[in-house]
Amino acid sequence: MPLSLTSATALVRGDRLPPVPDDDRDAIQRDILGPFGVRPDPARLARAANVGFTELAENLVRELPISGPDLLIFAYGIPDPSSLKHVTPYVNHLLGDRSHSFAISEQGLRAPYTALKIADAYARSGRCGSLALFVCEQNSLPYHDSFVADNRLANTAALFLFGDCGGGYEFVATGPTSTTRGLGPLLGSVTARCDPDSTLVVAGPWVDADMLAATGVPTHRVAPGSYCTGVWLELARSHRTWATTYRTLVLCDTDPRTGRSQTALLRRRSTTGAVAPGAPQTATGAPARPAAAPTSASAREQTP
């Protein structure tokens, strides 16, 4: 059975924590960065916000208490400043040490999309009835990263809880492109199968405006200031409100570092069991999924 979004919370932290000296961390950073001609600068961390994945994850768990999901996935695009910290098993411990857990990285802003695809495969195979998806981004690095600095990336995170009992938007599919130009045809093919009156495209700040206009459906544009968390922060904040108007959500973003784009299709089931426009059907034309009740989820944002 596919997983449905049941609750979510969004987090933006604008505070600063004091730096913690760590000789082992600094030595590993030198070993990792040295072959690339980069020398880590501990003084940079001394001036940074020092709000890493651990702090963001702890905040999310306090905001949205949960216990022992079947599957726990931690997705991110910018690495944590400490290579010695393994945040995913730590979060698993916080939640009761009962989850199958792992992280997805090295994919830029596409990591959360991949996470949903993997979770959906787990659920359809019967190995997962609940999912906790963490999407995190931090800006404290021991070296200069022009992308992080120029885009003024904030410390942001979102936590999504999915379950098999229905109640909210369900993940339907995700699609990648290898070039920026390829996003236009992909968006066109996705939205062409959707009812334009009940579909919303949620687009990241780097998606071409002309491509969005060509879809002919309402668009919600994410403001600058985040990288892999952008559309997910908006989903966490607004999914309950959107569910009253839009049966289908199309998330999309273009990675300015690679030019690659990604889409994700989410669909809310009607309370009558009717299939949403463009929804998958069985060979007999019957709905491919059972009906789900309206979402009772909540979204919060914390700004210390």
Which is more confident, 178 or 240? 240
pLDDT at 99 over 90: yes
Backbone phi, psi, residue 248, to 5° = -125, 135
Query: What pLDDT, on the 0 to 100 scale, is given for residue 164?
Result: 79
Please check whether residue 78 is in contact with residue 138, taking contact to mean a CB–CB distance below 8 angstroms.
yes
Predicted local confidence at residue 276, as pLDDT: 42
pLDDT of residue 102 exceeding 70: yes
Higher pLDDT pick, 59 / 299: 59
Domain coordinates in residue numbering, the chain: 4-18+31-163, 169-295
**Per-residue pLDDT at 84:** 62
86-109: b or e for each residue (b if 16 or more CB lie within 10 Å)?
Answer: ebbebbbeebeeebebebbeebbb
Q: What is the mean pLDDT of residues 179-196?
A: 86
The kind and range of the H/E element at 266 are strand 261-268
Per-residue pLDDT reduced to its tens digit, 16-41? 999 888 788 788 888 888 888 888 88
Quick one: pLDDT at residue 286?
Answer: 33
Closest by CA position to 6, among listed 267, 239, 296: 296
Domain 169-295 has CATH 1.10.1060: no
Q: Which residue has the higher pLDDT, 74 or 20?
A: 74
Decide whether 4-18+31-163 matches 169-295 in CATH topology. Answer: yes
pTM: predicted TM-score of the whole model, two decimal places: 0.86
Instruction: Give mean pLDDT, residues 55-69.
Output: 93
Mean pLDDT, the chain, integer: 85
Name the architecture of domain 4-18+31-163: 3-Layer(aba) Sandwich (3.40)
